[in-house]
Amino acid sequence: MSKQRLWATLVRMKTLVGKGLRFLGTLILSSILFVSFLPAAERLPNHERTLLLAKDWNPSIDPTGWWISEKYDGMRARWDGTNLWSRGGNLIHAPGYFVADLPKNTHLDGELWYGRGGFEETVSIARRLQPDERWWRLKFMVFDAPKLEATFEDRVEFLRELLPVDGTHARWVEQVKCEGVEDLIARRDRMVKAGGEGLMIRRPGSAYESGYSPTLLKVKPHSSSVATVIGHKSGKGRFSGMLGSLRVRSEDGREFSIGTGFNNEERSSPPSIGSVVEYRYRGLTKNGIPRFPSFLRVRKN
């Protein structure tokens, strides 16, 4: 190759590299500008996310004197005086008329509730970025005041004075004293027969604390819990080509399978790996594995 042709080739290469670098620089700058105009993450700070969570009641625990309320089958929510947040710390885009019914500068813990049997509808409404007219049907059932350093009874009295029991959007949850195991089971059975999910009971004099606590227990016909999906097993026979069972890991690290409770749609499009599912069961084996686990739903924050 002559010196002249070599020089021309080098010039062309320099020009192409220069254009490439300019294009890359423009692309990076555009990306930075695009990201800078994205809305800020609508997430509650980690230290504010943890709520008081319930364990299961068992007959060895005497409920006499505990406080009873309905277990609302809705979506857990926390009010920080300005916004509503989900259990997982995501902003709930409630309409202005709904939040206008909530007290300012007060933290409240409760459940967004569409009505008995309305869990799926509640989640559908609350997860929308643009609220729709169905919000008129939702109620915020308030059962605690997380930031108030007082006994449960004093916090309930605070809520009673703050909120009406029949408010348009926000309501105080009524509490009644339990007279014993027979009273508790009878109330639970009446609630379930009426279409409710069950009851919650709260130890008298207890404080509000973060995480699972023995001071707050759920009373249902079956025990229930949550687990993380770690695998799928293909079905056989009439379930061929669909999900046979989920392999899951419980919060205490135990692994087991859930093979019942799914409809055909859920078997055709099963919960994804890493998702959290709720299941019910009938006691534990000697190894701590849930007996007869049955799928209920995917847990949504």
Per-position b or e across 23-42, b if 16+ CB within 10 A of its CB: eeeeeeeeeeeeeeeeeeee
Phi, psi dihedral angles at 162 (to 5 degrees) = -85, -35
Q: Is 71 a catalytic residue?
A: yes
Name the active-site residue from 3, 71, 177, 236: 71
Tokens 């004099």 appear where? 205
Tokens linked to 105 = 């500068």
Contact 165, 174 (CB under 8 A): yes
Nearest to 170 by CA among 297, 78, 251: 78
Q: Which residue has the tokens 């290469």?
A: 13
SS3 of residue 31 by DSSP = helix
Residue that the structure tokens 């504010």 belong to = 48
Q: Which of 10, 138, 129 is nearest to 74 (CA)?
A: 138
Provide the annotated active-site residues. 71
